[in-house]
Amino acid sequence: MTAIVRDAEVISTGTDTIVVTFVTDSGESITTRVGDHEIATSGPIHVARFTDLPSDTEFVVEVEGHAISDPHFPSKVRTLPVPHGRLLAHYATVNDVHFGETSCGQVEGATEEEVGPVLRSLPGELPYPETMNRSAIAEITAVNPEAVVVKGDLTCRGTAEEYALFLDAYGTFGDRLHHMRGNHDAMIDPTMALQGAPFAFEIGGVTLAVLDTIMPGSDRGQLSAEQAGWLNALAGEATGSVFVFGHHHLWDLNAESRSTSYFGINPDDSDMLAGVVAANENIVGYFAGHTHRHRIRRFSQARDVPFVEVSCTKDYPGVWAEYHVYEGGYTQTVHRIGTVIPAPKALEWTERTRPMFAGLYRDYALGSLSERCFTQTY
């Protein structure tokens, strides 16, 4: 009897890697092929990680017994091109780590029957934020980046106890750790985890600029004129590329109408941020969390630089992002936790949370492969 392959995904690509994940019944052995390379894995959760591949090369990808047409499992996949010039910097990010959270999949004002399932750690299991974040930390530690940026929502309710849990876990990175607050972190104390933002630091001649986009007590975002001026001055003085980070994502600059209750950065402040990006050619990207999805938007009025959203660490797909910065550009590779270093408990949790929000979460959170993994040249 042929094994039934479910939820096959080309989850990530790098300059020399392609990673495929899928699910079968327990004990099923399946062969995955990328070009002439083969890897056999056993279920129920399969991870086929192909390494040492040539860059900027197209491969046919096949999973034995899987013939379903699915945008998350393209038949051909290309490794990322390497930007020209020397490697300057290497860093990692996570966001929406939510220490202290005990349930996910809830929507305010809706019943579980309408939007379920609502998921919780099972009796005897570690709290799922601990499972996911400790596994992410192990993978990030293994690749040894020069910096780790946590893009907000460190906690669930913004308590000092939850913040301490975050610091205990991510404090292992020492001086390499740089974090900002998210809307969840400013629910009780409007100054908790502010960390003096805005602030900036350099690695390898590359500037990483951290903004505070929080409106305490609200899930909505904002950016003060003072911060915009600070970023403009910083970029004007920087001699290398500038990467900008905030918890909230940008408003759609091309929208026909304006919103006064947008859950990202409000329209007027988004215009202001885009104006700073437009005025400074060395600003090469803006990177946010908050939305729990992968998405890239580009706007002609902001020089078509990528405004990037990266999905959350705490549940499906359960990710962290890795960046390599070269003289002529950079790469982003999003890693599903458990695909760099085996982490069966993390993979099991993200499989359980995949069908949240009435089964709509997978397509929303995962986004397209090109929005998870890409090369930006300049």
Range of the domain at 160: 87-377
Does residue 91 share a domain with residue 70?
A: no
Question: Which residue in 212, 210, 219 sits closest to 194, CA to CA?
Answer: 212
Assess whether 215 and 261 both reside in one domain. Answer: yes
Burial of residue 19, with CB atoms counted within 10 A of its CB: 0-12 exposed, 13-18 middle, 19 or more buried: buried
**Cα torsion at 224, 245, 106, 21 (round to 10°)?**
170
Q: Could you tell me if 63 and 154 lie in one domain?
A: no
| Residue 261: pLDDT band with limits 50, 70, 90 | very high
Q: Which residue, of 36, 56, 78, is where some domain finishes? A: 78
The reply to whether 1 falls in a domain is no
**Same domain membership, residue 96 and residue 23:** no
Provide the pLDDT for residue 67. Answer: 83
- Which bin fits 231, alpha (ψ -120 to 50), beta or left (φ > 0)? alpha
> Residue 108: what pLDDT?
77
Q: Which of 49, 78, 107 represents a domain boundary (last residue)?
A: 78
Token readout for 73 is 């499992």
Q: What is the pLDDT of residue 68?
A: 77
What is the model's pLDDT at position 1? 59
Q: Which residue has the tokens 């908050």?
A: 290
CA–CA gap between residue 214 and residue 151 (Å, rounded): 12
Instruction: Supply the CATH number for residue 129's domain.
Output: 3.60.21.10
What's the Cα-to-Cα distance from 152 to each of 173, 195, 212, rounded to whole Å?
Answer: 17, 11, 9
For the record, the structure tokens of 173 come out as 């990175």
The CATH number that applies at residue 40 is: 2.60.40.10
Q: What is the mean pLDDT of the chain?
A: 96
In a shared domain, residues 168 and 54: no
Share of the chain above pLDDT 90, in %: 94
- My answer on whether 365 and 292 are in the same domain is yes
Boundary (domain end) residue, out of 23, 57, 78 = 78
Residues 155 and 31 in one domain: no
pLDDT digits (tens, 9 = 90+) for 299-347: 999 999 999 999 999 999 999 999 999 999 999 999 999 999 999 999 9
Model confidence band, residue 106 (pLDDT cutoffs 50, 70, 90)? confident
Specify if 106 maps to a domain. Answer: yes
Instruction: For residue 101, tell me if it sits in a domain.
Output: yes
pLDDT of residue 107: 82
**71 vs 73: CA distance, rounded Å:** 5
The pLDDT of residue 374 is: 98
Task: Report the C-alpha gap between 287 and 246 in whole angstroms.
Answer: 6
What was the pLDDT predicted at 211?
A: 98
Are 157 and 113 in a shared domain? yes
For 99-108, 183-192, 212-221, 322-331, which range has the lowest pLDDT when averaged over its residues?
99-108
- Domain-located, residue 118: yes
Domain total for the chain?
Answer: 2
Tens of pLDDT, residue by residue over 141-169, are 999 999 999 999 999 999 999 999 999 99
